[in-house]
Amino acid sequence: MRLERLNYDKIKIFLTTDDLRDRGLTKEDLWKDSLKVHQLFRDMMNEASVELGFEAHGPIAVEVYSLHAQGMVVIVTNSPETDEVDDDFTDDYIEMQVKLDESFDVIYEYDSFEDIIQLSNCLYQLNVTEGMVIFFQQRYYMLLSDDQQMEVDDLVAILAEYGNPSTLTVHRLKEYGKTILEENAIEEIYQHFCKNKDESF
């Protein structure tokens, strides 16, 4: 489970398929109103309180995104309402908004281009050469299809070493972002930034 604070009232929680499996849950279970799901949510909120100092007060909006082969991203937003509510939030104050992303693209975001270079060097050695790189809102995005020679779970594990899964759609990135490399991004980056270094050893 990985947590990130987006702003004062909003956090992002990334759950891998392993995180769900450890709790006896599947992606499909998250669409159901079950005790296990409520327990998972409480665990997430407790961890957010400890790690990020994020406290749930009043109504909470929960958006759940299913990322193909990557797990789940949960966006939790505190309501701006200031009515006094019991500190122990109850299920009555949780508004679940389930959004299912059916995209077959794997999209990860990175803080710097150096992260993309490191990633490309690693993936190129594993015969992954395609990809697209887009710059949007001060971050770099690597877009890959899930049609690779390696297992998607293994691919995602490597992508996650250098960055974070993104909930942005391909369409939004292409429309509003700046495309840096449109195709074969991993090979291009490897040839320009990594090849000479590898040969020098």
pLDDT digits (tens, 9 = 90+) for 172-182: 899 999 999 99
Q: Which residues of 118-133 are buried (b: 16+ CB within 10 A; e: fewer)?
A: bbbbbbbeeebbebbb
Residue 59 neighbours by CB under 8 Å, 6+ apart: 79, 81, 93, 94, 95
pLDDT of 140 over the 60 cut: yes
Tokens representing 116 are: 């993309």
Average pLDDT on 154-172 reads 87
Q: How confident is the model at residue 104 (pLDDT cuts 50, 70, 90)?
A: low
Q: Is residue 91 over pLDDT 70? A: no
Instruction: Quote the CA–CA distance of 94 and 56 in Å, as a whole number.
Output: 10
> By C-alpha distance, which of 53, 42, 65 is closest to 5?
53
pLDDT of residue 111: 95
pTM over 0.75: no
Q: Is the pLDDT of residue 199 over 50?
A: yes
| pLDDT above 80 (res 198) | no
| Cβ proximity of 64 and 98 under 8 Å | yes
